[in-house]
Structure 1
Amino acid sequence: MDKHYTYILECKDHTLYTGYTTDLERRLKVHNDGKGAKYTKIRRPVKLVYHETFDNKSEALKREYALKQLSRKQKLALIKEG
């Protein structure tokens, strides 16, 4: 069964990036190779600071959307708890 992930990356400039993937290791490598999102391309290196696992894509994408609605302060609290 495929797993689906939402994740938060911390960029070199200490900003946070939230995304979705089915392969965390590969996606992190893509971001750090400069082939991921435009946002992370100029803010490398990035590091994985938080992730959640889901059994289906729909749940993961809903959670990604919810995470993107959080303030930076709320995301940092989530990361600290995580």
Structure 2
Amino acid sequence: MKLKFGTGKMDGKEVEIANYMAEPPGIFIGRGEHPLRGKWKPKVTSKNVTLNLGKEAKVPKGDWGKIVHDQESMWMASWTDYLTQKRKYVG
């Protein structure tokens, strides 16, 4: 999987993507006595994901939530965590 999804292009250069996968669905554990502990965390689907691509980049197949071209940001994809309502980023 890392061979296929573990790299991307940034400013024309091939770069390694450290966290190239969204978190899998499952029971939320949290740390310590987290108030959301034990809640079900659903799967992140392509409809939940915003892609940040260059204007000339080919859009990957998928039913993406949104496509943006923000060259000032360092992320490639983002989504809102269902339980915490916080933004998560890849890249």
Give TM-score scaled by structure 1 length. Answer: 0.25
TM-score of the two chains, using structure 2 as the length reference: 0.24
Q: Rg larger in 1 or in 2?
A: 2
